[in-house]
Amino acid sequence: MTGKIHSFQSLGTLDGPGVRFVTFLHGCNLHCGYCHNIDVCRGDFNEFTPEEILEKILRYKAYFGQNGGVTVSGGEPLLQAEFVTALLKLCKKNGIHTALDTSGSILTDGALKLLDFCDLVLLDLKMTDDVSYRTHIGCGMNAPLSFLDELEKRQIPCWVRHVVVGGLNDTAENILRLKSLLSDKTCVQKVELLPFRKLCAQKYETMGIPFPFASYHQPETDTMKKLNEVLNGGK
């Protein structure tokens, strides 16, 4: 069995706790207008077996310490659920903390099996209403919410990440809707608001793909501060 892999990050610090070995899987089922990994989704890839990737991971295990481990990201890793399951199984056998970075837009039997080997899920909850999901992301809102329900049922720790786009969802009302969606989810340990950055536009230009969010802007620092205040208790 092989997986389609775009790239690796050997000592990552942004995709889960501690120092992590991040594997970026090729391919995605969505078309997020602000995608910052368009090269991962549609670019070149190489094929590796789970054992070949584990060999790479073990070279860096000493750097993981108490909190680090492995994160499988993308693209959308759930498109290659069988492969990811095999990789995470090997990691668990070697005492390595595992995290899955996903949109939660796929809830197949394979995805459910994969969750058995996840210590943490980084869930990208991309919008807070169904119309925005269908317009800007390419799926209905029910899929990621059902995925979150599954995490809650199993009590799998979850970090929710939400991209704030200037001129689209950079409002207190949007963040209050996000809080409402998560209000009864005890599995959610952390919620991160991430500012949309137009640096990804260069990737689109290089690949000859029109950038869908060219008309939107990066939110101001003050705006992000106020939205985080709303998220953490203010209104």
Euclidean distance between CA atoms 175 and 69, whole angstroms: 30
pTM: 0.95
pLDDT recorded at residue 103: 98
Domain-wise residue ranges, the chain:
3-231
Contact present, 157 and 196 (Cβ < 8 Å) = no
N residues, the chain? 235
10-residue averages of pLDDT along the chain (235 residues): 96 96 97 90 93 98 96 97 98 98 96 96 98 96 97 98 97 97 97 93 89 94 97 75
**10/22 Cα distance (integer angstroms):** 6
Burial of 25 (0-12, 13-18, 19+ CB in 10 A): buried
- Residue 234's pLDDT is 55
186 CB contacts (<8 Å, ≥6 apart)? 152, 155
**Residue 39 pLDDT:** 87
Q: Any idea which fold 3-231 has?
A: TIM Barrel (3.20.20)
Which 8-state DSSP code applies to residue 217?
Answer: B
Query: What residues contact residue 123 under an 8 Å CB cut-off, 6+ apart?
Result: 102, 103, 104, 144, 147, 148, 151, 158, 159, 160, 161
Please, are residues 101 and 24 in contact by the beta-carbon 8 Å criterion? no
Give 61's DSSP letter.
Answer: H
